[in-house]
Structure 1
Amino acid sequence: MEKFEQKMKAEGLSQAAIDAFRLNYEQLVAGVTGLVPEKEIEAIEDLPRLADLKSNPVGDVKGLLAKTAVLKLNGGLGTSMGLAKAKSLLPVKDGKTFLDLIAEQIEYTRNQTGSKVRFILMNSFSTSKDTKDYLSKSHADLINEPDVELVQNKSPKVDAKTLEPATFPEDPEQEWCPPGHGDIYPSLLGSGMLNRLVEAGIEYVFVSNSDNLGATLDLDLLAYFAETGKSFIMEVAERTAADKKGGHLARRLSDGRLMLRESAMCPDEDKASFEDVSKHKFFNTNNLWVNLPKLKSMLEASNGVLKLPLIKNKKTVNPRDSSSPPVFQLETAMGSAIECFNDSGAVVVPRERFAPVKTTNDLFALRSDVYKVTPASTVVLAVPNCPMVKLDDKHYKLVDKMDALAEAVPSLINAKSITVKGPIRFVEGTSIEGDVLISNESSEPVTLPPKTYKDSVTDLTPAKVPAKATT
């Protein structure tokens, strides 16, 4: 650990960051598995619901907002979608980026309530410059505010064979990795921002991902959080069959605290129970509410470190070269902090508060007429359910490839599903209704004739087109 500490200090990282890494490293060396058997937890049967909270009066909105900060996690590059800049700078709706819509939401709330709710972006060393450059041109008033940026730490990669700091002289930056969004806590502490916010009278912070436009500042949730006096509240949504592989909320029997159990924490013999969505009903949306004075007290009582479960990812030091030396990347998840407080809570929210854009399938749907932008710059579904979008990964996985083929996203407002196999070029004037499959077995893009396609299968493979498409 001494070598890691020297390396981190040389990089200018705070003591809080070093202490958080030390805890992770100690868990790695000790071989902590993190497994949580079914017999050690109980399922959560019932929780408060946002729909029920909306019948309660909010009270002093302006006073509440004066004590509130909205913090967006903005450290991701969207590399899985082929992006090289901050993912939040991707145009998603009506030519506006995630960041444009988020900034407009803050400005709308301020104008409507007359209260200057705080706004904070948690950037990474990879997204900081691009984000600030963009904001300085498009939303200069926000970027010039105090403490608008919290920069997350970086974590040294661990050589998988020696458990010493990984080295990669060809590109020393590859020796570092993001520490996961659980780093929000040591970043707040180590930067001094936590103390500054508390001293400025900020009590409540709403934290969510910048690529989840459904995660807006909800006044009913804010009022509930303030009234309960809880340290930490997690927004959860109901699991469906599509979510059975993902983590769930549970209660630990040993101390009665709420906790998150991810798939990697489940012993093989308990997989059936883990995937039973009628038993374990709720998953974490990563929309969190944190009481800052209570977080400060907790950190002071635990020597500046929240004991979050370790997430151990095995990679290669150069992620683009599978022959480079194997390393461990040590991460934590911010939602895991729910188990650190004895008064944590959770609220069941509608699925629309969890609408992250993780793939080009999500982006394709978001750019369609299935979603609309409200006067408050929030993005909401225009229909009860978003249709399933399945684009061919070979041709649409990367944003630039999708943009080249989707000159105009078709109308999906009456669609149940759209499946695309092969390179299909979409142009203005196309509508999808019901369940539609469109294919092209050739490697060259073929333009889909603009019209309405309803409950149909259309094969546009050039050699087959003269034989007539089935529509």
Structure 2
Amino acid sequence: MEKFAAYEQRMKKENLSQAAVDAFKGNFDQLVSGVTGLVPEKDIEAVLELPKLSDMKDSKMVDVKAVLSQTAVLKLNGGLGTSMGLEKAKSLLEVKDGNTFLDLIAQQIKYTRKKFDSQVRFVLMNSFSTSADTKAYLHKRHSDLISEPDVELFQNKSPKVDAKTLEPATHPEDPDMEWCPPGHGDIYPSLLGSGMLDRLIKSGIKYLFVSNSDNLGATLDLDLLAYFATSKKAFVMEVAERTAADKKGGHLTKRKSDGRLILRESAMVPDEDKDAFEDISKHKFFNTNNLWVNLDRLKETLTQSNGTLPLPLIKNKKTVNPRDSSSTPVFQLETAMGSAIECFDDAGAVVVPRERFAPVKTCGDLFILRSDAYKITPESTIVLVKSSAPLVKLDDKHYKLVDKMEALVDAPPSLVDATKLTVKGPVKFSKGVVIRGDVTISNDGSSPALLKRTQGSWGHLTPTEAAACIMFSVSANQIVA
């Protein structure tokens, strides 16, 4: 308690709510007590069967207009996209045809309101890093939305913990670096501490759909909304089936001691259970981070637990200055919002198509979205033109950051007939390039090689050769078969 007093004083000085202080205290107590969070295989049972969105036709069983009027859509918008070299809200990155993530999200909300003549609510959860840029953009492009009440939920911030002393970390050169985001599990204390939870409930909002702003697959599905409303469940998570590519990631499981669904991440697995953890035939489902929350039930649960949900701690080891590995080692204490599934007796999950989990985490993801493999629908959703997206692997040395990628891509190539594209070395894509089948492009030189379409063909490749999925390399400024 003596150590925590310094944290409480610091957080109060920053005008953080009591709910934020209590949530951090819960995390700090777990850190100090040495909670491991390990979940051995013997304590859980696999989740084998779940309802599927593909089988649901629930929207025909409800008054859609009425249910939408009781619904709010909340997009997590606190990330800067630093892994892609961005220094502004990631949602302000142009995705397709001049539209940013935020444009498409806003247009989806407006389309739904107009089609069903129902005022579904819209909320953005911004951080201290994204609030100003996001609100300025909304004022410019969607002034009708920014003028609405409670359009912004402000994410809290947490003090970094000195890893050696467990005292609040200090960095006099830049005091802002003494703070960090608390993870998206902060949505619950933010809703409570800001008073927004009570205001939404008072205005008749019962159902909250939460997803990441960079996941354009996470649209407001009416069958899912109707299912959630009629199920009377407190909490429903959208999950997708794990593949071999997902075996290292977390999965949904059930705790034997109380029968509750829980999320089990790799850090929660004892070494002797790693093989079982990666067995996708046993542990079949992963969290898409698309969640449905009954606000009345959330308020009831928060009240019963003295204002905080007991979420498992995520302890991230960093340095106080993330750009200086020699600076003071710290812990950043975070929680995940999906972990709240274990806080409710009657939580559930629904299996959704992989298309509802399509976050843009890399420039390769963005490269595909900007191509003709995807199109924008009249509803302002982005959908695949064909049944599956091509696999794109760009050389991180030259395409990892957005500005570097854009310098090498005058226009996205056609990928509608591609199955796989691998780019090694710096290759500059000019307008009109068409990729078909499985293609690898290599440039061993240090200067960008130009890839262009001339007289209806690819450089020295005929359309027949291209269609036959020939592997080719690029050197100097020409294509060599």
> TM tier, shorter chain?
over 0.9
Aligned twin of 2:385: 382
Question: Given residue 198 of structure 2, which amino acid in structure 1 is its aligned partner?
Answer: N
CA offset at residue 58 of structure 1?
3.8
TM-score, normalization: structure 2?
0.96
Aligned twin of 2:404: 401
Aligned twin of 1:460: 474
CA offset at residue 462 of structure 1?
2.0
Alpha-carbon contact 2:371-2:412 (below 8 Å) kept: yes
Give a deviation string over 1:257-298, Cα, whole Å, max 9, x none: 000000111111111111111111000000000000100000
CA offset at residue 446 of structure 1?
0.9
Give a deviation string over 1:130-163, Cα, whole Å, max 9, x none: 0000000000000000000000000000000000
Question: Given residue 20 of structure 1, which amino acid in structure 2 is its aligned partner?
Answer: A
Give a deviation string over 1:301-354, Cα, whole Å, max 9, x none: 100000000000000000000000100000000000000000000000001000
Aligned twin of 2:291: 288
Determine helix, strand or coil for the equivalent of 2:417. strand
Determine helix, strand or coil for the equivalent of 1:104. helix
Aligned twin of 1:298: 301
CA 1:56–1:171 in 2, change beyond 3 Å: closer, same or farther? closer
1:7 aligned to 2:6?
no
Alpha-carbon contact 2:78-2:126 (below 8 Å) kept: yes
Aligned twin of 1:87: 90
CA offset at residue 120 of structure 1?
0.2
1:120 aligned to 2:120?
no
Question: Given residue 42 of structure 2, which amino acid in structure 1 is its aligned partner?
Answer: K
Aligned twin of 2:176: 173
Alpha-carbon contact 1:317-1:326 (below 8 Å) kept: yes
Determine helix, strand or coil for the equivalent of 1:294. helix
2:230 pairs, out of 222, 227, 232, with 227
CA offset at residue 458 of structure 1?
1.8
Question: Given residue 461 of structure 1, which amino acid in structure 2 is its aligned partner?
Answer: S
1:45-444 maps to which residues of 2 (within 5 A)? 45-54=48-57, 57-444=60-447
CA offset at residue 56 of structure 1?
6.2
Alpha-carbon contact 1:58-1:219 (below 8 Å) kept: no
Determine helix, strand or coil for the equivalent of 2:480. coil
Question: Given residue 476 of structure 2, which amino acid in structure 1 is its aligned partner?
Answer: P
Structure 1 unaligned blocks of 5 or more: none
Give a deviation string over 1:101-139, Cα, whole Å, max 9, x none: 000000000000000100000000000000000000000
Alpha-carbon contact 1:75-1:127 (below 8 Å) kept: yes
CA offset at residue 40 of structure 1?
0.6
Tell me, in whole angstroms, the C-alpha distance in 2 between the residues paired with 1:58 and 1:189: 32
Alpha-carbon contact 2:58-2:227 (below 8 Å) kept: no
Tell me, in whole angstroms, the C-alpha distance in 1 between the residues paired with 2:150 and 2:186: 17
TM-score, normalization: structure 1?
0.98
Alpha-carbon contact 1:44-1:281 (below 8 Å) kept: yes
Question: Given residue 14 of structure 1, which amino acid in structure 2 is its aligned partner?
Answer: S
Alpha-carbon contact 1:58-1:220 (below 8 Å) kept: no
CA offset at residue 456 of structure 1?
2.0
CA offset at residue 100 of structure 1?
0.2
CA offset at residue 434 of structure 1?
1.1
Determine helix, strand or coil for the equivalent of 1:457. coil
Question: Given residue 333 of structure 2, which amino acid in structure 1 is its aligned partner?
Answer: L
CA 1:128–1:392 in 2, change beyond 3 Å: closer, same or farther? same
Tell me, in whole angstroms, the C-alpha distance in 1 between the residues paired with 2:272 and 2:61: 46
Identity %: 71
Tell me, in whole angstroms, the C-alpha distance in 1 between the residues paired with 2:35 and 2:471: 51
CA offset at residue 431 of structure 1?
1.0
When the two chains are superposed, the root-mean-square deviation of aligned CA atoms in Å is: 1.0
Alpha-carbon contact 1:38-1:270 (below 8 Å) kept: yes
Tell me, in whole angstroms, the C-alpha distance in 1 between the residues paired with 2:437 and 2:249: 28
Tell me, in whole angstroms, the C-alpha distance in 2 between the residues paired with 1:124 and 1:58: 38
Tell me, in whole angstroms, the C-alpha distance in 2 between the residues paired with 1:132 and 1:393: 32
Alpha-carbon contact 1:41-1:251 (below 8 Å) kept: yes
Aligned twin of 2:43: 40
2:26 pairs, out of 23, 28, 31, with 23
Q: Which stretches of structure 1, 4 residues or longer, exceed 6 Å deviation after superposition?
A: none
Question: Given residue 260 of structure 1, which amino acid in structure 2 is its aligned partner?
Answer: L
CA offset at residue 364 of structure 1?
0.5
Tell me, in whole angstroms, the C-alpha distance in 2 between the residues paired with 1:44 and 1:456: 44
